[in-house]
Structure 1
Amino acid sequence: MARPKISLIGGGQIGGVLAQLCALRELGDVVMFDIVENMPQGKTLDIAEASPVDGFDVSVTGTNDYKDIAGSDVVIVTAGLPRKPGMSRDDLIEVNSKIMTSVSEGIRDNAPDAFVIIISNPLDAMVTLCQKITGFPSERVCGQAGVLDSSRFAAFIAWELGVSVKDVTAITLGGHGDTMVPLVRYASVAGIPVMELLEQKYGDAAKAQEVMTAMVERTKAAGGEVVKLLGNGSAFYSPASSAVAMAESFLKDQKRVLPTCALLDGQYGVDNFYVGVHCVIGAGGIEKILELKLDETEQALMDNSVAAVKELVGSMNL
């Protein structure tokens, strides 16, 4: 039985970590594409030469030709300009939409049966563009953002409460940007509402709310925090790990419930726009969208985030 094939479009920082993680987990044979001559070949050769040490037994190769992604089961796209300090994700739309157009044509023409995961920013717009150009069914084109945003939120909660990150559940919805919606009401530690634990810690409801508000705001700005600290480039390990979780759920039909940028069909009052929501990812791709019951305040925040997505997508004049 042939191993699954995973193609990575973009050989930058995220692409390199993706290749290594896919190999370490032996999810399938890996092909890294990039337009820079010899770079993906060199990066994948370096990873492949570690296989005897790390003990993985899959093929890891690089290419400058889209034809080499033929037969891919999964395609993960990271191609695009990364953010620099002071830039928002939305600032990247003009240059990255041109790159995504070319990438999408390459996927459409060479890997027509692939499950496509987009990481490139601005995320919601880039996923929309990819699906329009490829013409793939919406269940086979999605974006990675919510897994990462929720992971960041969960990490901040765990660090604040001094508990294991494994026991924290945190949820974010909406667009991947400053208007994202971390849902405080659904945040918990081993089933215990986080707000209860914060109130126990501080003995004061107002202080607990202040601490939570700070974590919510840090979650919204988390990508920019990394960009500022790095000074040149943006986050790469955490986005790659998050995309691999999605790819693994598809390849192994795990049916994990993961926050994913998916095309909505009436959920949350949104129709025909890509927005971050909870999805079941299995062998059929985005197999189901799970809609949470939001209160009035949460729905207003969601509406605001969706409005930002619509404005961004509208600027591309698709």
Structure 2
Amino acid sequence: MASLPYADVDSSLRALAGRAEGFGRFAIGGLDGPIYCVTTLADDGPGSLREGCHKKEPLWIVFEVSGTLHLSSYLNVSSYKTIDGRGQRIKLTGKGLRLKECEHIIICNLEFEGGRGHDVDGIQIKPNSKHIWIDRCSLRDYDDGLIDITRQSTDITISRCYFAQHDKTMLIGADPTHVGDRCIRVTIHHCFFDGTRQRHPRVRFGKVHLYNNYTRNWGIYAVCASVESQIYSQCNIYEAGQKKKSFEYYTEKAADREEVKSGLIRSEGDLFLNGAQAYLSTVANEECVFHPSEFYLTWTMEAPSDSLKDILQICTGWQSIPRPVEQMVIG
């Protein structure tokens, strides 16, 4: 029987808070604030998502409407916010969310599709943002990345998300000049990368824990380790299409170093299907990769299997689930 995580986070509205596995486990979102109801699909103004995200106080944002919300510009999210799409079907298009110098953000059960413009990502996390959990979102077809995590943003978990119809899916670490990105720590688990071309993810400098993800039919590679990155790939499923190379290594020179380096990938219990090739770094180098237990003690994981594959195709991305009730505090 599959042991999927988060079985009880839909038991009440705020049960998500502080429940992420991995590096984003401290994210509480708007736990300590009132509920804010989005009552319009307008891009701005009273009752809009933008108005709620701009407010400075903690808020648990829910939706009273369903439909497509066209963002004419990036929507900046301020600290201590939960954007909770459970109970409705909200699709963001045009531009994306920007998490800039903020902390304690939870984004749950939204769709992102059709973002247009230079450097337009579905969810852009930079700079200096932390304690973030992105759960059960569907992302496709943006002009740049679907989720980008750069410029010293850290302690982030991405779980149960669905990625499709895209090229440069997920970048972690900006470029070789941003040596401050050595602080980056990200957990990606129970996600489904469905025919996206590359970057599942591509990592510079940071530490990334991947487990129980399903990546299939990539166009260049599945996972890329670039300058100084450490990637721990654990019990994932890599199912090749025409391109067989699961792991890629790009060499770059950090701005404060003389030598050119790639990153390191350690694979433990991964399943390689349809001729997928790991191309692992040497065993000696693998031992230099961090182990997640250095940072957190537990995570929900099972051996990769056909049943896990089936479940990830059903249970990732936006879900048609009711909004949980708000538990009243008596006393």
TM-score norm. by structure 1 comes to 0.28
Higher relative contact order (CA 8 A, sep 6+): 1
TM-score norm. by structure 2 comes to 0.27
Question: Which protein is richer in helix relative to its size?
Answer: 1
